[in-house]
């Protein structure tokens, strides 16, 4: 059975179980590191924007509507959906497609938060709408073999990116020059794009967008390196000492490594995602840093990546209710501000399995040191 056949069969089964006449999966064309496009996952097509939607009926019929109209040929090449419509007026084309498919009654809508109000209003005037983001999440509850292959390629690109990051972190180099080297290395390794935060200085407060600041002797260089390949993200969080690290930095990073190791031990299918945060906080609290286990000293203990991942669109903390499932991809990172050293980056991406988890990157999680 092909990927398209499996997707269609799953959608029809879920629609019938909820007694919905159809499912609309909408996208405005954006891809976010936490909220990857549901439509891209569902239809196998990366929309350009400004509007695109797949319509699947409980009877098993499907259409894909894309805007701009001239993107129809590309959509038809990539998507498993045979009937592709190019739209000049998206609302009109979508309503016409629903009429052609005979859609009437209750309709599930995935991606409503992205949908502009005029399109939503036109849709609501024709059918009864209910939120259905969870249907796509259910269908994408674990990475498919094809998605996992892209995840592993993204992990290799992240390794290449960190090697460039480490090699570029020397005295006199500007922050944006480090990012340029990382971008170049990961593009050569096959990445489509890259989301990166970093900071340089003797006592960093947080990670941020790069500036023209030059690296100085004794700086600590921290970064989140997050390449994406065909919608699949991987993230590395790394810290580099420019020159010999202080005793305080060595001790602080050792603490984060112990917190990271403790949390990874709890990552397995069937375990609450909150266990990741709890494990990290326990180690830091025992070391006397309990008051730093909340914002603004840290942001999150981990997160998923878009559809088919734990806590889609959310960050992992001690209150996260989601349960880890096999073949999900999750980031574990005790990124943390400590008063002695400033903000430090530590952690990476793991594949959840029934027995535990698989570390996806090859570069070691440790305090890295470069010559000045």
More confident residue, 139 or 78: 78
List CB contacts of 15: < 8 A, sequence separation 6 or more: 21, 22, 23, 56, 57, 58, 108, 135
Q: What does the DSSP 8-state code read for residue 292?
A: G
For the cut 60, the answer to whether the pLDDT of residue 285 exceeds it is yes
Q: Virtual CA dihedral for 23, 308, 149, 360, nearest 10 degrees?
A: 170
Query: Locate tokens 């859609």: which residue?
Result: 103
For the cut 90, the answer to whether the pLDDT of residue 34 exceeds it is no
Distance CA 237, CA 248 (A): 20
For the cut 80, the answer to whether the pLDDT of residue 297 exceeds it is yes
CB atoms within 10 A of CB 209: 11
Return the top range by mean pLDDT from 22-31, 38-47, 165-174, 230-239: 165-174
Q: What angle do CA 301, 231, 346 make, to 5 degrees?
A: 25
pLDDT for the residue numbered 146? 85
Percentage above 70 pLDDT, the chain: 97
Across the chain, mean pLDDT equals: 93
Find out whether 223 and 166 touch, Cβ atoms under 8 Å.
Answer: no
Q: What does the DSSP 8-state code read for residue 1?
A: -
pLDDT for the residue numbered 309? 65
Q: Name which of 192, 138, 2, 147 is nearest 81 in CA terms.
A: 2
**Stated pTM of the model:** 0.88
For the cut 60, the answer to whether the pLDDT of residue 43 exceeds it is yes
Compute the average pLDDT of residues 110-131.
94
Domains of the chain: 3-139 (3.40.350.10), 145-370 (3.90.230.10)
pLDDT for the residue numbered 132? 94
Q: Could you report the per-residue pLDDT of 143-162, keeping only the tens digit for each?
A: 888 889 999 999 999 999 99
For the cut 80, the answer to whether the pLDDT of residue 133 exceeds it is yes
Compute the average pLDDT of residues 267-293.
96
* Residue 57, both tokens: 């009926």
Q: Could you report the per-residue pLDDT of 318-348, keeping only the tens digit for each?
A: 988 888 989 889 999 999 999 999 999 999 9
* Residue 218, both tokens: 């004794």
pLDDT for the residue numbered 32? 73
Q: What is the DSSP string of 78-94?
A: H-S-S-EEE-SSHHHHH
For the cut 90, the answer to whether the pLDDT of residue 128 exceeds it is yes
Distance CA 50, CA 60 (A): 27
List CB contacts of 247: < 8 A, sequence separation 6 or more: none
């Amino acid at each position: 059975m092909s990927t398209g056949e499996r997707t269609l069969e799953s959608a029809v089964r879920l629609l019938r179980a909820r007694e919905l006449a159809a499912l609309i999966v909408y996208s405005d064309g954006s891809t976010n590191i936490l909220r990857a496009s549901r439509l891209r996952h569902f239809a196998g097509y990366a929309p350009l924007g400004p509007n695109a939607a797949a319509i699947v009926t409980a009877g098993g019929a499907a259409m894909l509507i894309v805007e701009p109209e001239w993107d129809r040929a590309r959509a038809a090449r990539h998507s498993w959906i045979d009937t592709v419509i190019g739209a000049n007026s998206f609302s009109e084309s979508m309503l016409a497609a629903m009429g052609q498919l005979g859609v009437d009654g209750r309709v599930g809508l995935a991606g409503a938060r992205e949908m502009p109000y005029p399109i939503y209003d036109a849709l609501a005037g024709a059918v009864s709408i209910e939120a259905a983001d969870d249907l796509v999440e259910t269908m994408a509850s674990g990475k498919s073999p094809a998605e996992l292959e892209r995840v592993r390629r993204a992990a290799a690109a992240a390794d290449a990116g960190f090697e460039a990051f480490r090699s570029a972190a020397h005295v006199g180099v500007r922050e944006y020059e480090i990012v340029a080297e990382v971008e170049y290395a990961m593009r050569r390794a096959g990445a489509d794009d890259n989301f990166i935060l970093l900071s340089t200085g003797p006592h960093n407060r947080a990670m941020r967008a790069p500036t023209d600041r030059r690296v100085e002797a004794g700086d600590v260089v921290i970064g989140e390196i997050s390449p994406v390949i065909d919608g699949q993200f991987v993230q590395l969080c790394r810290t580099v000492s420019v020159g010999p690290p202080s005793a305080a930095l060595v001790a602080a990073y050792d603490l984060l490594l112990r917190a990271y190791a403790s949390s990874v031990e709890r990552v397995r299918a069937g375990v609450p995602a909150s266990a990741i945060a709890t494990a990290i906080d326990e180690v830091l609290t025992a070391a006397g840093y309990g008051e730093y286990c909340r914002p603004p000293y840290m942001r999150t203990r981990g997160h998923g990546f878009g559809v088919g991942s734990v806590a889609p669109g959310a960050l992992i903390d001690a209150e996260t209710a989601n349960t880890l499932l096999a073949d999900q991809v999750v980031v574990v990172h005790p990124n943390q501000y400590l008063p002695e050293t400033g903000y430090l980056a530590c952690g990476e991406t793991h594949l959840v399995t029934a027995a535990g988890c698989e570390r996806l990157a090859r570069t070691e999680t440790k305090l890295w040191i470069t010559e000045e």
